[in-house]
């Protein structure tokens, strides 16, 4: 496994090794969710590349950029064990050199949900991922369904800007009690950690209601809000039952729905989602 910092080194290794490439972009502090992306990429490509970059442009002024957890040595050993060929760990100046002034703005699908709560977040995500696509020129790029809106935004960007690659979406990895794996779970105290599965419980309650015939979007949002309200440590940011493609809140959810939420528990802001689709 080669670990490099410069764009020039990534390009050189890509040329030297040839073949098909799968790319797994990450912000580090890796867990089994990230590893599942690498394993999928390993199975579908000749070579696997990963990036570890805590991207400053996707953090708002009052967010956790400085506090974001980091452990490069552990990350590299997990990536090596999962069969990664190339890891890019650029310093901030390599990605955003002095004088940098070009950003990618995806319009409509960045407005609701995470975009409403974090107004500059997706501009930062789209910009850094566009750069990653240009630096690595992968055949496939792997993202987690955990960040459901990110997937919608990046698919839109790849389509609109004609990036010649396939975006592969991998299922959410969870702890045994349902909590979605996240680097930010490390912010939780033991008491808060015990409360955190309430997000998945709320999603499952709405899924049950939907399967039992509750196809009204507001009814589904109410089911989720009611479950969250019973957990005193949970402070919901938003609760959504939206069209999975446009992310617009649904009235009629009969044909399928993306259930999603952001909930603050202590210092952590946790997100989770469940995609319900009518059998064809
Ligand atoms: P991050 O390091 O948080 O930017 O995540 C890097 C990639 O891993 C993103 O595509 C995430 O959606 C994905 N990811 C994060 N958590 C999970 C999880 N629990 N299951 C599957 N993929 C995940």
CATH number of 216's domain: 3.30.1300.10
Length of the chain counted residue by residue: 280
Q: 143 and 34 in one domain?
A: yes
Task: Burial-class residue 52 by CB neighbours within 10 Å (0-12, 13-18, 19+).
Answer: buried
Q: 158 and 190 in one domain?
A: no
Q: Is residue 279 assigned to a domain?
A: no
Tens digit of pLDDT for each residue in 47-82?
999 999 999 999 999 999 999 999 999 999 999 999
Q: 40 and 16 in one domain?
A: yes
Sign, CA torsion 219/222/224/227: negative
Please state the atom number of ligand 1 nearest to the C-alpha of residue 172. 20
Contact 228, 239 (CB under 8 A): yes
Q: 209 and 140 in one domain?
A: no
Please state the atom number of ligand 1 nearest to the C-alpha of residue 150. 12
**97 lies in which domain range?**
2-170
The whole-model pTM stands at: 0.98
Tens digit of pLDDT for each residue in 169-227?
999 999 999 999 999 999 999 999 999 999 999 999 999 999 999 999 999 999 999 99
Q: 203 and 135 in one domain?
A: no
Q: Is residue 232 assigned to a domain?
A: yes
Q: 122 and 66 in one domain?
A: yes
Q: Residue 14 is encoded by which pair of tokens?
A: 């890509």
pLDDT class of 278 with cuts at 50, 70, 90: confident
Q: 166 and 215 in one domain?
A: no
Q: 255 and 164 in one domain?
A: no
Which of 270, 191, 258, 198 minimizes the C-alpha distance to 228?
A: 198
Task: Quote the mean pLDDT of the chain.
Answer: 98
Judged against a pLDDT cut of 80, whether residue 279 lies above it is answered with no
CATH number of 74's domain: 3.40.50.620
Q: What percent of the chain has pLDDT over 90?
A: 99
Q: Residue 88 is encoded by which pair of tokens?
A: 């890019």
Nearest CA, atom 5, ligand 1: 26
Q: Residue 165 is encoded by which pair of tokens?
A: 């690659």
- Select from 121, 144, 170 the last residue of a domain: 170
Q: 100 and 47 in one domain?
A: yes
| CA 27 to ligand 1 center in whole angstroms | 9
Q: Is residue 278 assigned to a domain?
A: no
Q: How many domains does the chain have?
A: 2
Which of 121, 94, 4, 103 minimizes the C-alpha distance to 51?
A: 4
Q: 127 and 148 in one domain?
A: yes
Q: 110 and 37 in one domain?
A: yes
| CA 143 to ligand 1 center in whole angstroms | 7
Compute how many other C-beta atoms are within 10 angstroms of the C-beta atom of residue 48. Answer: 28
Which of 186, 161, 162 minimizes the C-alpha distance to 175?
A: 186
Q: 120 and 199 in one domain?
A: no
| CA 134 to ligand 1 center in whole angstroms | 21
Instruction: Please choose from 22, 27, 33, 197 the residue to mutate so as to test ligand 1's pocket, defined by most ligand atoms within 8 A of CB.
Output: 33
């Amino acid at each position: 496994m080669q670990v490099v910092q410069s764009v020039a080194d990534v390009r050189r290794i890509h040329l030297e090794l040839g073949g098909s490439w799968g790319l797994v972009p990450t912000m580090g502090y890796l867990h089994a969710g990230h590893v599942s992306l690498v394993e999928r990429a390993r199975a579908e490509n000749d070579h696997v590349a990963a990036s570890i970059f805590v991207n400053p442009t996707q953090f708002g002024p009052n967010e956790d950029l400085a506090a974001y957890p980091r452990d490069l040595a552990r990350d590299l050993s997990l990536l090596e064990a999962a069969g990664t060929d190339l890891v890019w760990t650029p310093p901030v100046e390599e990605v955003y050199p002095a004088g940098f002034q070009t950003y990618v703005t995806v319009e409509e699908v960045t407005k609701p949900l995470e975009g409403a709560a974090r107004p500059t977040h997706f501009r930062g995500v789209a910009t850094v991922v566009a750069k990653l696509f240009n630096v690595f020129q992968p055949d496939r790029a792997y993202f987690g369904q955990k960040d459901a809106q990110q997937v919608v935004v990046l698919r839109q960007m790849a389509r609109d800007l004609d990036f010649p690659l396939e975006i592969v979406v991998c299922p959410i990895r969870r702890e045994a009690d349902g909590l979605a794996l996240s680097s930010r779970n490390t912010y939780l105290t033991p008491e808060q950690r015990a409360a955190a599965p309430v997000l998945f419980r709320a999603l499952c309650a709405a899924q049950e209601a939907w399967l039992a015939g509750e196809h009204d979007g507001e009814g589904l949002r109410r089911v989720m809000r009611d479950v969250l309200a019973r957990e005193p440590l949970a402070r919901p940011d938003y609760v959504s039952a939206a069209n999975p493609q446009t992310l617009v809140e649904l009235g009629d959810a009969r044909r399928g729905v993306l259930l999603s939420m952001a909930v603050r528990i202590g210092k952590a802001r946790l997100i989770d989602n469940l995609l319900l689709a009518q059998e064809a």
